[in-house]
Amino acid sequence: MDVLELIRTAKVGVAPETFALVALTNDEWNTVLSDPAASPRMSVPFMILKDPHEITLMLDETDLASVTGVLGSVRAERGFRLLTFDIAFDFSVTGFLAEISKVLADHNIPIVAVSSFSRDHLLIKQTDLAIALRALGEIVDEVC
């Protein structure tokens, strides 16, 4: 099955929560880890990524409030909705995100791509959500 066929069979879901990306220093991360009240809830999606420059959290607004309750202010970009391409594929598939991001770029919609082990996700600003869903509806079978 080629990538366009895969995209066509994908179902795009939208998480009901609004999300933020949060950048933390190592010291801030250690503070968050030391306070159980700042832990993300297991009932909603979240992400933790550490690279050589920072720790990035993807949190919904409720979990963001817990982190800011412990740290005070944080560097965050808010107002994202999480779109999930509900199709699991193996690691030999190439071009899936390239095709999706091209469609959205053609509509001037910036994205933040997030991947789990078997699925791809996009963070899209709430203000762009309706246009993004219409654009994706042209290439996938189901948008909900």
Domain of 66, CATH number, reads 3.30.70
Quote the pLDDT of residue 89.
Answer: 80
In this predicted structure, the answer to whether residue 104 has a pLDDT above a threshold of 90 is yes
Q: Is 130 helix (H, G, I), strand (E, B) or coil?
A: helix
| 41 and 8 in a common domain | no
Average pLDDT along the chain: 94
d(CA 84, CA 11): 8
The structural domain count of the chain equals: 2
- Name the pTM for this structure: 0.92
CATH code assigned at 111: 3.30.70.260
Task: Reply yes or no on whether the pLDDT at 4 is more than 90.
Answer: no
Give, as one character, the DSSP assignment of residue 44.
S
Beta bridge partners of 123: 82, 112
Q: Is the pLDDT of residue 113 over 80?
A: yes
Q: Are residues 90 and 129 in the same domain?
A: yes
55 lies in which domain range? Answer: 19-78
Cβ contact 37:65 at 8 Å: no
Question: Residue range 29-44: average pLDDT?
Answer: 93
Tens digit of pLDDT for each residue in 10-23? 899 999 999 999 99
Q: For the chain, how far is it from start to end, CA to CA, in angstroms?
A: 24
Question: Are residues 24 and 71 both part of a single domain?
Answer: yes
Q: Which of 50, 78, 106 is the last residue of a domain?
A: 78
If asked whether residues 123 and 136 sit together in one domain, one would say yes
